[in-house]
């Protein structure tokens, strides 16, 4: 092997990685934007699409008469929760669900629901008590269970990003559920 063959072998070995690096450098900003818009993830053969799931819950809420006490009531843009959506959609989803659980807890406390074994009920148990006592119907419980599942997915899936439109819709649904709980239990603070 002479020096020209040696240089040709090096060029052949380096050409492919060099092209990939150049393409990556040229497209890094568009690729970063695309990654930030990721709304679904596939892991272990399971595909989860947050936007699609929120859309299904929203459709259920709109198609079921009386499911939400005030479906036309929208959260004002100045609301801190919607402000949070633009900063961190995932955190906004978590906070919106926390409001639902907190509302259920306050409703049970206002109704004098006994605490079992000296411990407060967990969030989903608080909601089930409201359903068991006839405060919430099965359709509302189903919607709350779906929103809780979405919140769990948002928290526990590492390589996952929620788009702001889906997070806004989630917040709107959660706030509507909070309003429903307050309307069904008027003595709730």
- The β-bridge partners of 41 are 48
| Ordered structural domains, the chain, with CATH | 37-184 (1.20.120)
Residue with more model confidence, 151 or 1: 151
Determine the 3-state secondary structure of 139 from DSSP.
Answer: helix
pLDDT of residue 47: 43
pLDDT tens digit string along 82-118? Answer: 888 888 888 899 999 999 988 888 888 888 776 666 5
Burial of 153 (0-12, 13-18, 19+ CB in 10 A): middle
pLDDT of residue 119: 60
pLDDT tens digit string along 25-49? Answer: 777 777 666 554 555 555 444 445 7
pTM for the model: 0.67
Q: How many other C-beta atoms can be found within 10 angstroms of the C-beta atom of residue 105?
A: 22
Largest CA distance in the chain: 91
User: Which DSSP helix (H) or strand (E) runs through 37?
Assistant: none
Is residue 101 within 8 Å of residue 145, measured between CB atoms?
A: no
CA 142, CA 180: separation in Å to the nearest integer?
A: 14
Percent of the chain topping pLDDT 70: 76
């Amino acid at each position: 092997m002479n020096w020209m063959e040696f240089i040709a072998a090096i060029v052949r070995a380096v050409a492919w990685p060099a092209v990939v690096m150049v393409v990556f450098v040229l497209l890094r900003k568009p690729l970063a934007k695309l990654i930030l818009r990721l709304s679904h993830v596939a892991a272990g053969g399971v595909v989860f699409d947050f936007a699609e799931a929120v859309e299904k819950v929203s459709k259920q809420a709109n198609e079921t008469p009386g499911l939400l006490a005030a479906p036309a009531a929208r959260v004002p843009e100045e609301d801190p929760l919607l402000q949070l959506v633009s900063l961190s959609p995932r955190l906004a989803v978590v906070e919106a669900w926390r409001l639902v659980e907190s509302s259920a807890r306050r409703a049970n406390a206002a109704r004098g629901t006994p605490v079992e074994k000296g411990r407060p009920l967990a969030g989903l148990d608080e909601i089930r008590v409201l359903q068991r006592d006839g405060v919430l119907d099965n359709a509302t419980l189903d919607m709350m269970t779906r929103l809780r599942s979405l919140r769990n997915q948002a928290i526990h899936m590492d390589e996952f990003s929620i788009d702001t439109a889906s997070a806004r819709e989630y917040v709107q649904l959660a706030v509507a559920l909070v309003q429903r709980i307050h309307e069904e239990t008027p003595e709730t603070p």
